[in-house]
Amino acid sequence: MISLKDTAAAFLTYKKWPIFATEDPNLICTKFKGHNGSWNTFIQCHPSQPIVIIYSLFPHSCPENKEQDLLRLIAQLNDGLMIGNFEYNFEHREVRFKTSMNATYMTEKLEIFDAPFYHNFLAMDQYFVQLKAFIHPNPTV
């Protein structure tokens, strides 16, 4: 039986997106370029459950003095989302968008990754300019 991680890797290969190795055996990394920017994406596969989490990492860290206002912006962005959500990692000062999938009753075919990946990428791309303008209002940065 093929694993979800192998299916995710096959999906990335099929889409011709690069795959980067990580030290974590349950994690795959790729880089995605949208209309408004490019960013790293991590695919985390649960080691014993049929659960996959997809994180798109916004490539600019937030200055500490803007964190509280950024949290308000993230809450506003999340308010209109039906699938997925923005999160903020305080340790790394990074914004990320998360979608997930429980594949318990799904066959492990490439198509099962279409919706979670595309919802993830579209949301990050849609709000990329707004996040960048907030974190770095100076366009030369």
pLDDT of res. 2: 63
Instruction: Specify the pLDDT at position 69.
Output: 95
CA atoms within 13 A on the CB side of 58: 33
Residue ranges of alpha helices (H) inside the chain are 4-14, 67-79, 114-135
Q: How many residues does the chain have?
A: 141
Domain ranges of the chain: 4-128
Q: Which residue has the tokens 């998360």?
A: 98
- Tens-digit pLDDT string for the chain (141 aa): 568 888 888 889 999 999 998 899 999 999 999 999 999 999 998 888 888 999 999 999 999 999 999 999 999 999 989 999 999 999 999 999 999 988 776 666 667 777 888 999 999 999 999 999 999 877 664
pLDDT of residue 137: 78
- Please identify, in words, the CATH class of the domain defined by 4-128: alpha beta
Which pTM was predicted?
0.88
For residue 76, the model assigns a pLDDT of 96
pLDDT recorded at residue 110: 64
Q: How far apart are the first and last CA of the chain?
A: 48
Which phi and psi angles does 26 have, rounded to 5°?
-105, 15
- H-helix segments, 40-113: 67-79
Q: Say how far apart CA 136 and CA 141 lie, in whole Å.
A: 6
What pLDDT is recorded for position 105? 65
CB 99 within 8 A of CB 112: no
